[in-house]
Amino acid sequence: MTVEYEWDVVTARWRDKGGASEVIYQVVYRVTATDGAHSADHSFGFDCGAPSNPMIPRADITKADLMGWLSASAQSDAEAQALRVLTASIERQASNPQSGLPWASDQ
């Protein structure tokens, strides 16, 4: 079974700190896992520290910037936990093909 993961940014949280305004201190990511027949998703927050690294005004931040911060933290416990949770969910779904709802489509 090959599981593929897709990452997305859910939101960024910011505050004024140390004379700087709108400093991003946390980014919430969602990762969706799929093996083609089954899928699961999990969201988690990544604390950036203060100031956010690198310091970019909130108004100028892009999704690519925030995804880059995740890539820079690829060894984080939160990410590793998310992947474990999703992989286990996909494995449970694949090993129990009789689950589902009688009114749901088989597609």
Tell me the C-alpha distance between 10 and 28, whole Å: 5
Tell me how crowded residue 76 is: count the other CB atoms within 10 A of its CB: 14
Boundaries of every domain in the chain: 4-91
- Asked whether residue 13 carries a pLDDT value surpassing 70, the answer given is yes
Tell me the C-alpha distance between 53 and 56, whole Å: 8
Q: What is the pLDDT of residue 75?
A: 46
Tell me the C-alpha distance between 43 and 81, whole Å: 11
Q: Is the distance from CB of 33 to CB of 24 less than 8 angstroms?
A: no
Give the tokens for residue 26.
């946390």
Biggest alpha carbon–alpha carbon distance for the chain: 58
Who has greater pLDDT, 47 or 56? 47
Tell me the C-alpha distance between 87 and 31, whole Å: 11
Who has greater pLDDT, 90 or 54? 90
Could you give the angle at the alpha carbon of 17 between the alpha carbons of 11 and 21, nearest 5°? 70
- List pLDDT tens digits, range 15-50: 877 777 788 888 898 888 888 888 888 888 888 765
Residue of 17, 15, 69 whose CA lies nearest to 46: 69
| Model pTM score | 0.68
